Amino acid sequence: MAKLTGTKVITNKVRLSFVHVLEPHAFEGQEPKYSTMVLIPKDDKETLGAIKKAIEAAYEAGKNDKLKGVKPKNLKVTLRDADEEFDTEEEFPELKGMMFINVSSKTKPQVVKREEGILVKTDSADDVYSGVYAVVSMNFYAFNTAGNKGVSAGLNNILTTCKGDFLGGRANAESDFGDLDWDDDEDDTDSIFG
């Protein structure tokens, strides 16, 4: 169940892409940050509703300061429609039917998973990667940077919930080699390596 507390949102199950939460990553000319793209199914009205209310709360908190002069309808927000911004038919099919939001933090988020009913910290790339399903905690805030005004979200913490196929063309070894026929009596001397 998605949860909203002021400008803080804890999502329902979402999917992560472009994951840089174990080590900070610097985009062109920017300082290194921990970041990920959060993919939210368009039919998850609960999470999307909580995000919209958090954006409104962040706008209200910043409208007399950082967002002075910006009308709500002209507000730049990081929650966007993947079907409108990406080629979801061929290039990014995993984004079809999704809303997305890019979240980042200068400090490393805690990443946890459930093991035997308790939360356990993890720093393993096997647990958090582009394609994993998770619950994400994020906080919305007003920004005014170089003339751009809007509401963005900071990354708090991540709870991985279940494995998903790798995004970005990477496959796991089982899917690559699981259906190969093996002849246990094959003579290795026929190899090109002698």
Tokens representing 58?
A: 């962040």
Beta strands in 14-147 (DSSP E): 14-25, 33-41, 76-77, 80-81, 98-105, 110-115, 118-121, 133-145
pLDDT-derived band of residue 169, with 50, 70 and 90 as boundaries? low
Instruction: Report residue 147's pLDDT band, with 50, 70 and 90 as the boundaries.
Output: confident
Query: Which residues constitute the domain of residue 34?
Result: 3-173
Look at residue 119 and tell me if it is in a domain: yes
Segment 34-61 mean pLDDT: 97
The mean predicted confidence, pLDDT, of the chain is 88
In tens, the pLDDT along 56-88 reads: 999 999 999 999 888 888 889 999 999 999 998
For residue 188, tell me if it sits in a domain: no
The answer to whether residue 178 sits within a structural domain is no
CATH of the domain at 87: 2.40.50.140
Is the residue at 187 inside a domain?
Answer: no
Q: Residue 94 domain-assigned?
A: yes
Mean pLDDT confidence for 94-110: 95
Residue 160, domain member (yes or no): yes
pTM: predicted TM-score of the whole model, two decimal places: 0.83
Closest by CA to 102, choosing from 30, 165, 16, is 16
In a domain, residue 181? The reply is no
Our count of domains for the chain comes to 1
pLDDT for position 69: 86
Q: Is the pLDDT of residue 188 over 90?
A: no
Q: Which of 92-96, 137-141, 169-173 has the highest mean pLDDT?
A: 137-141
